[in-house]
Amino acid sequence: MYVMFAGFLHGAAMVAPAGVTARGFAAMAAPWLTAMTGAFQGFAAVVDGGDYTVDGQQSLAFSDLALGGIVAASADQGIGTDVLVMVQRLMRRQIEAGHGQEGFARIIESIRQPR
């Protein structure tokens, strides 16, 4: 929950220079976030099954590139990247372990086995 709220606040900070208020951003973000929670059951099935190669998942390598773009855009705007970098570290640990083509749900292994 805290990471979700931090992500919302990060997004609000990113769009503020474009004149979008936090309320305006919330109005756009809430329906999108509601739609995204539909993915929880799919992530749960992958985690419970232990097979992070299941078709239909976005690979960690792709996710790392996508998140890297958001991190760079945030830094370019002078916005802190702490929340994003934390997620990126979880992904990169799995990529470095040779799992870059496996799905995003694999980051649970970084969470289960902290350094």
The residue range of the domain holding 57 is: 2-112
- What global pTM score does this model have? 0.89
Q: Is residue 50 a contact partner of residue 104, using CB atoms and an 8 Å limit?
A: no
- CA nearest 70: which of 22, 14, 2, 18? 14
d(CA 28, CA 21): 11
Name 110's Cβ contacts closer than 8 Å, sequence gap at least 6. 89, 90, 91, 93, 94
d(CA 66, CA 60): 10
Q: Is residue 60 a contact partner of residue 102, using CB atoms and an 8 Å limit?
A: yes
The pLDDT assigned to 32 comes to 94
Domain count, the chain: 1
The pLDDT assigned to 87 comes to 96
Domain with residue 90: its CATH number is 1.10.1040.10
| pLDDT string in tens for the chain (115-residue length) | 999 999 999 999 999 999 999 999 999 999 999 999 999 999 999 999 999 998 888 999 999 999 999 999 999 999 999 999 999 999 999 999 999 999 999 999 999 998 8
The pLDDT assigned to 103 comes to 96
- CA nearest 105: which of 47, 36, 45, 39? 47
